[in-house]
Amino acid sequence: MTIVYKISPNLKDEIIEHYKDTMKEEKPPYSVFQSSDAGTVVTLYESGKIMFQGISADIDYAWWRDREAFMNNRDIDRELAIKDAKDKKKKEDLLDPRFKGVSTIGSDEVGTGDYFGPIVVTASYVSKENIAFIEGLGVKDSKKLTDEKILEIAPKISSKIPFVSYTLSCKEYNEVGITNMNKVKAILHNKVLYSLLNRDNYDYKYVVVDQFSLVSKYFEHISEIPNKVKNITFTTKAEDKCLSVAVSSIISRYIFLKEMKALEEKYKMTIPKGAGDIVDKAGKEFVEKYGIEELKNIAKLNFKNTEKIKNSLN
C-alpha cells in the first residue's frame, strides 16, 4: 500500500519530531527524512509531499489525516479521491495505440537538470518479442522508480535489450560551451540513435523521442551534423507511452547513479542531485576543499548555481 499527499506547512515540524527516533541514516534524493518502523516506511520530501508505504501504511496515514482535519479543516480522503480520478483520466489520455505491441527504438536522457554529474543519453531497441519481458520487470519512467529499483532491474534489462549510451562529462560539457540545453540534448539523442540504428538491421515500426522542443528546432539544432536520424516520432510524455523510451530512461539513470557514486568516492563527500539550495551548499563545500578550478570537472558551470556558490565564498 502506498499513500501520498502534500502536508500542510504547520504540521511539518510535528511530523519530523514524531518520526525522529525511527529515521534512517540514509534518505532518498530530495527528501527531508525516511522512517521505517512496524511495517511502514514514511518519507517526507522537500516538496512537502509525504509518502506512506507498507502493510500498515493506512494506520500512519489515518493519524495524520485526522491531524489535518483538526488543525487545518482538510479532508485528505476527498482530496486523494479527486486526485485519483484526475490521474486515471490523465493515464487514459497518455494511452497511445501506435506503440502498443510493436517493436520500437526510443531514446531518453538524464542529468540535464542536475548541476553536478554528467549528462547520459541512451537509445534502446525493444522488439515486440521482448515486450512481455520488459513489462514483467515493472518498467516505467525512471523518474517514478526508486534508485534501488533502478539499480536492481537495469542490469537485467541491459543484458537482454540492445542499447547505446553516451556519457557527456562535466569537463566535456564545459569545454563544448553550448549553453542551449535543448541543443545539447538534440545532438546527443541523434548521436545514440544513429549509432544504434547502424549497429544492426533492426525490425522496428517507430523511432520515438520525447518532445522537448519544436520539431523544427530539434532538426535546426543538428543541422550541421552530417549523420542524422530523420524518421523520428516526437511525442510528449514518451517514457509513459513507449517501452523503448522507458527502457532508455532507466539505463541512463542507472549509468548516472553509478557516475555520481564514483564522484562521491573520488571527492569523499556527498554530492546531491538537482539544482536547489542543497546543491549550492555542497558546491561551496566542494570549492572550499578542492578549489574553484576543480569545479569544472564535476559541475555544469553555466547553471546559476555557479554564481551563487562564488558569491557565498565572499
Q: What is the pLDDT of residues 10-60, one digit of tens each?
A: 999 999 999 999 999 888 889 999 999 888 999 999 999 999 999 889 999
164 and 244 belong to one structural domain = yes
Report the pLDDT averaged over residues 83-99.
75
- Count the residues in the chain: 314
Task: For the chain, report the end-to-end CA distance as a whole number of angstroms.
Answer: 49
Which of residues 76, 94, 112 is at a domain's end? 94
CA 120, CA 111: separation in Å to the nearest integer?
6
- pLDDT score for 188: 98
Packing angle between helix 305-312 and helix 277-290, nearest 10 degrees?
60
Report the pLDDT averaged over residues 58-84.
93
List the domain range (segments joined by +) for residue 172. Answer: 97-261
| Band of residue 311 on the pLDDT scale cut at 50, 70, 90 | very high
Which of residues 62, 79, 94 is at a domain's end? 94
- pLDDT score for 141: 58
Give the CA-trace dihedral at 63, 64, 65, 68, to 10 degrees: 130
28 and 66 belong to one structural domain = yes
Residue 272 lies in a domain: no
Least confident of 78-87, 103-112, 119-128, 268-277: 78-87
Q: Does 234 have pLDDT greater than 90? A: yes
Give the CA-trace dihedral at 150, 151, 152, 158, to 10 degrees: 80
What is the number of other CB atoms lying within 10 angstroms of the CB of residue 223?
A: 8
- pLDDT score for 314: 72
Q: How high does pLDDT run on average in the chain? A: 93
Instruction: Write the CA distances from 238 to 95, 103, 244, 281, integer angstroms.
Output: 10, 15, 9, 34
90 and 102 belong to one structural domain = no
pTM equals 0.72
Provide the number of structural domains found in the chain.
Answer: 2
81 and 146 belong to one structural domain = no
Residue 278 lies in a domain: no
40 and 153 belong to one structural domain = no
| Band of residue 146 on the pLDDT scale cut at 50, 70, 90 | confident
At residue 31, what are phi and psi to the nearest 5 degrees? -110, 155
118 and 202 belong to one structural domain = yes
Retrieve residue 242's grid coordinates: 513507449
CA 65, CA 57: separation in Å to the nearest integer?
12
**Contact present, 296 and 313 (Cβ < 8 Å):** no
123 and 202 belong to one structural domain = yes
234 and 144 belong to one structural domain = yes
- pLDDT score for 194: 98
- pLDDT score for 51: 95
